[in-house]
Amino acid sequence: MESCVVRSVLPALRGQCIHPFVADIRSSDKSAPGRAIHAERWRANCRAGDQQSTQSVPSVLPAPQLDLGGKEPNKSWNASSLAFLGDSVYELYARRRCFHPPKSAAKYREAVIQMVRAEAQSAACAKLSASGILTEAEAEVLRWGKNAPGTLPKRLERAVYRDATGLEALVGYLYMSGYHERLNTIMATLDLL
């Protein structure tokens, strides 16, 4: 599925700069002092981007192309299915967050694993619950996801696993419902945007 998404998005991006600073790097001095200046400008641009409103940030994922006949996703899929999808959406947000500053692939992987572990997701779930940012419907989906049946990994406590599954179900629900601005707001609250 991932390669289908990449193939459908890449032709639209071909020849365009994803970050405005990339064009600067391509056309500029490649010397060591030049690279240091570029690295500092990159960090400054990213810091400025972090301070902008989440409403100006485009969604990480393309919108789902499904017609649910006006039904809510939780009426069409069970909590485990939404958690399955939410897991990949959450990981994509984490990968996007860890992608800068440039590092080796091993360091990217290590940073992403730390963000998407069940323990980290459980802490994120607690942060969301304590923040009061969730609407009543979102809190209900979170509770519904926590009660989803599943096989508990041996290394985890039941409460940690349930919190992580609940968060993943909420992310999957928001994605499938098309509430991308709301998803971005929640991910920004969790420092993933």
Cα 184 from Cα 55, distance rounded (Å):
8
Q: For tokens 């959406």, what's the residue? A: 89
- 67 is known as an active-site residue: no
The whole-angstrom separation of Cα 3 and Cα 109 is 19
CB burial of residue 78 (10 Å; 0-12, 13-18, 19+) = middle
DSSP string computed for 91-137 = HHHHHHHHT-S---HHHHHHHHHHHHSHHHHHHHHHHHHHHT-S-HH
Please, are residues 174 and 161 in contact by the beta-carbon 8 Å criterion? no
Query: Distance (Å, rounded) from C-alpha 193 to C-alpha 177?
Result: 19
List the Cα angle 79/149/75 in 5-degree steps: 25
Catalytic residue among 29, 67, 87, 163: 87
User: DSSP per residue over 140-152, as a string?
Assistant: HHHHHHHT---PP
Active-site positions read: 87
